[in-house]
Structure 1
Amino acid sequence: MDETTRITLRLPVDLHAWLVAEAKSARRSLNSEIVYRLEGERAVAEAEGESP
C-alpha cells in the first residue's frame, strides 16, 4: 500500500463496535482492521472472477 486516500465513513453503531472489538482482538488499529477485511474481500472477488 504505497499510496493512501483519506475518506469519511459512516457506519452503524453496532458495526463500528464490532469492528473495534475485532481490531482489538487482532491487535490492529480500527483502520488496519477495515483495510485488512476489504483486502480479503477483494482477493475473494478477484479469485471468483468478479470485476472491480
Structure 2
Amino acid sequence: SHTCFFTLDLPAYSTTDIMYERLNYAITCCSSIDGDGTVNNAFNDDGCDSDDGSDDE
C-alpha cells in the first residue's frame, strides 16, 4: 500500500470471493503493522494464528 497516495496494490485474484477472503484475513489476522500489539492483544478469540514471531503453543 501507499499511504501517501491512499492506494492499495492487490494481486490479480481469479475471483472476487478469493480476493475478499484473502484481504479479510490480512485485515483481521495480521498484526505485524501494529508494532506494539495493543490492538490485537485485546482480541484473543479472533480465530487467527499468532504472527508475533514466537513459537509458543
Same fold (TM over 0.5): no
Q: Given the two structures, how large is their TM-score scaled by the length of structure 2?
A: 0.34
Q: Given the two structures, how large is their TM-score scaled by the length of structure 1?
A: 0.37
The structure where helix makes up a greater share of residues is 1
